[in-house]
Amino acid sequence: MMGIRSVVIRKSFPVWRGVLLLFFVMKTLSLLGGNTPVTRMEPPFWWSGMTNDTLQLMLHGKDFDRFDVSVTSNTVRIISVVRPPNTHYLFLYLDLKDSQPGTFYIDFKSKKSTISYRIPYQLRSRNADSRERKGFSNEDVIYLIMPDRFANGDPSNDRIPGMLEGIDRNLPGGRHGGDIQGIMEHLDYLEDLGVTTLWSTPLLEDNLPAYSYHGYAISDYYRIDPRYGRLEDYQALAQALHHRGMRLIMDYVTNHCSSAHWWMRDLPYEDWVHQFPEFRRSNYRMSTQYDPYRAKTDYEGCEKGWFDTTMPDLNQSNPHLIRYLAQNAIWWMELAALDGLRVDTYSYNDKKGIAYWTKRIMDEYPHTNIVGEVWMHTQAEIAYWQSGNALSGNYDTHLPSVMDFPLHDVLAKAIREDSASWFDGIIKVYNNFVLDFVYPDPSNIVIFGENHDTDRLLYTLGEDIKRYKLALTLLLTTRGIPLLYYGTEVGLTGQKSKGDGDLRRDFPGGWKGDTLHLFDPLQRKGRAKELHDFTKKLLHLRKEHRVLQSGKLLHFIPENNVYVYFRYDDNALVMIVLNNGLKPVSLDYNRFSEIVSPDMKWYNAFSGKQIDKRHCIAPAKSPLILIKEENKTSR
């Protein structure tokens, strides 16, 4: 355990009592299981100068009821000592308001013997300007990586003693060996592509005997899974990204842990996780969180049911648990200088508990960003969870960002429909944005065409490159924060019906011995090269033209399956045309006269050539991006 040692303090006794003393010492140590009552303390260290000056320490060991606890410090004091029914746990609440960086001591004095124990605890100095760091925003493009499937940079950690699952690339649901070092070795690739922010699925320990590669069943919240690397490797990844002007998002899981988590063998409270006479899986009906007519049993069936047999449902209404999770997230934010969090299964949590958790983090880092996964299918259901929504009544999640699942749902459907009608074709996309009024902040919504849980976008579009380019153009030029799933740029495909492993294929070239190396520009050919070049062009256009990041959006009702919209601000104007039809269309600029004037000059963003407005043709099943020539560009 990091940073913990024990000091045994013996008082003076007459020699004749030595044998008796030795007997009591050995008896005590036997009862405690070692030379200290503490076998685990979390968090293992903390920082002085945090906004919230109360620290919860969770101690695990044996027979804490035998000890009185105090601290030796001039600046740290105990607020309360909480003794759960399970005497293997102790919760210390400490006041750090006047604390300084350095070491103080936690003292344990036996109630029945003359032996005491002293454990040092370290308070560190905060990183410079840590509180003021800016999180990810609509200036960014997020690149989602499943580290096990991206690149294996360090084969020596493929099998680790004590970790139950080693690699087997022949198993779609097995571990394949990708790691942090593999990501580090391809940061040049990501920077050249044009992404600005990296979101990795969980890198914390997931020590299940099978199907552990996804990382969403965490067995130790304070440990990087050694098959991915070390804590220092994760810190180095964050530093390397920051050196490039890029950002790092941690994928955080508050709703559930792993059945292999160490505390599942010895829970501090019976209600630490939701328990039932027999296994009870969640009904997954997240609508019960706000349904005014819900049955209590249905609500509890969603919020309290287990996500899976190996994922016990954590009880965020337990005040000690939710403090533990909030402090753990802050610990990682501070230690790795993270730029934000993505929260898994956000809407399955206890509502008050998850709001407390989110507020704690936002209070500590008021300029960061947190995006919650709320996998629902209407704008109202998603918007309910974004902070500041008046429709949520008195409930405020404090959550800045949500994921635009409604856009994901209609995007591929719309682009597959070649013929337009009142409801069919690209009008589906238009209608999605029409409902943006329900969101408190539609600019701070993460938009995507695929992720690690959905069919690959190329598969849903029938492997059609033209349709794929239409979808990518929309995602990278409309409002919100675009997300690309690893391999989007080279056309990786996969379908949910074949299992999650098919959605999470290895990136070609990430392993020694791969015959295809798509990280290497010289080996990208055909579809992979065409899509990579196209994606890179779009990403760099977005970087060069800030109006595509944060400009206002003006769109026009689609006609003939052609959707036209503009991004604009005081200095710049960009026109985007998505021709979803099967025939070329001549643009009628008169229709857009409220934002386009006759003397404006435009150039084609893809070709770089000036546009003849009299004969501007939008090709069939293709995007067109027109840049006003006087645009100022900056990043």
User: Which residues are annotated as catalytic?
Assistant: 344, 373
E strand residue ranges, 7-115: 7-9, 38-42, 46-47, 54-61, 67-72, 77-82, 89-95, 102-110
C-alpha atoms less than 13 angstroms from C-alpha of 499 in its C-beta half-sphere: 8
Query: Per DSSP, which regions of 435-547 are E strands?
Result: 445-448, 481-485
The greatest distance separating any two alpha carbons of the chain, rounded to the nearest whole angstrom, comes to 109
Of 507, 498, 494, residue with least CA distance to 147: 507
Contact between 494 and 505 under an 8 Å Cβ cutoff? The reply is yes
Both tokens of 593, joined, read: 């006269």
Place of tokens 């209608």: 431
Task: Tokens for 540, please give them.
Answer: 């760099």
Which tokens belong to 150?
């991206």
* E strand or H helix at 626: strand 622-628
Among the listed residues 184, 127, 194, 139, the one whose alpha carbon sits nearest the alpha carbon of residue 369: 139
Which residues, 6 or more positions from 427, have their beta carbon under 8 angstroms from its beta carbon?
414, 420, 421, 557, 558, 563
The identity of residue 73, as a single letter, is S
Q: What is the DSSP string of 104-128?
A: EEEEEEESSSS-EEEEEEEEEPPPT
Cα separation, 40 vs 112, whole angstroms = 23
Q: Whose structure tokens read 């913990």? A: 4
Using the 8-state DSSP alphabet, how is residue 418 labeled? -
- Interhelix angle 351-364/319-336, rounded to 10 degrees, is 30
Alpha helix (H) ranges present in 86-226? 180-184, 187-193
- 471 Cβ contact partners less than 8 Å away, ≥ 6 residues apart: 411, 412, 415, 449, 457, 461
CB-based contacts of 616: which residues, under 8 Å, 6+ apart? 586, 587, 589, 602, 626
Query: Quick check: 263 and 213 in contact, CB under 8 A?
Result: no
